[in-house]
A = this chain, B = another copy of it.
Amino acid sequence: MRVDINSDTGESFGAYTIGHDAGLFRSITSANVAAGFHAGDPSVLRATIRLANGHGVAVGAHPGFADLVGFGRRELNVTPQEAEDLVLYQIAAVAGVAAAEGVKIQHVKPHGALFNMAVRDAELATAIARAVAAFDRTLILFGLPGSEILNAGRAAGLRVAAEVFADRAYEPDGSLASRRKPGSVIHDPAAVVARAVRMVRERTVVAADGSVVALEADTICVHGDTPGSDDLAAKIRAGLESAGISVKAIGVQ
């Protein structure tokens, strides 16, 4: 039994700092590195890749909308072609900077609104998968279990990874509960750890209504921009390992 732990990283921008990358890199196994559109800049990108690599953390591209003020979290009505070109550009930038640091990138995880839109928009999902495949067919595409993006990734011949959120409530249909609902974010670290272990061992989660829902769990997302995220990541990793689960980057054999 094994699982990957991923987190969004490299989100600082110029004089602005977000996240606790150095702390997270002690516990996570895959870093989704911002590419300068919704967050990050060329110097932050390079420093983040060096830091991840120094900690043995696998690097992935984390493309998002060119909406820095909105942190890529606002839906933007792009055409599929725009999405494809946007994603290809950002993968290229991250992969090329990584290559200059001696690192081959492992995966691609769309960010924020782009990630959410690709859950249900098959045309957008196909455009994203096309960009990934055009760049490198060995990259692993991250997305929600059951989402259009994973379907599109498979259809494009890509390896995909189903991502779960141990600190978020789920609906009975396996979708994430909206952040606006009370209780949608789970703050108790012990509960988060227990959910993570269950997700990996049993491939299930207890939904908000108490029902048990099956879900794939290849990689667990830890949010990096909340206070204490590095501690939470450490606890999740320790809890998984105590339960006999091997925590390794998804691309490691």
Interface set of A (CB-CB < 8 Å, partner B): 13-18, 36, 39, 41-43, 45-46, 66-71, 73-78, 81-82, 85-86, 88-97, 99-100, 113, 131, 134-135, 225
Contact = CB atoms under 8 A, between A and B. Distances in A.
Contacts of A45: 85, 89
The CB with the most chain B CB atoms within 10 A, among A42, A45, A75, A93, is that of: A42
A70 to B, nearest CB: 6
A97 B69 CA distance: 19
Contact of A96 (B14, B70, B78, B135): B135
Nearest to A43: B85
B88 A69 contact: no
Contact of A97 (B13, B41, B89, B94): B89
A134 B102 CA distance: 9
A94 B88 CA distance: 10
A100 B70 CA distance: 24
B135 A99 contact: yes
A86 B14 CA distance: 12
Top 10 closest pairs, chain A to chain B, by CB: A92-B96, A42-B89, A16-B16, A75-B77, A14-B69, A15-B71, A100-B134, A42-B85, A43-B85, A93-B93
17 contacts: A13-B16, A13-B69, A14-B71, A15-B18, A15-B225, A16-B16, A36-B89, A43-B85, A66-B69, A89-B93, A89-B96, A92-B94, A92-B97, A92-B100, A93-B96, A96-B96, A96-B135
B74 A74 contact: no
A224 to B, nearest CB: 12
Nearest to A75: B77
Given A16-B18, A66-B67, 9 more contacts: A15-B73, A42-B88, A46-B89, A67-B67, A77-B113, A88-B97, A89-B93, A92-B96, A95-B96
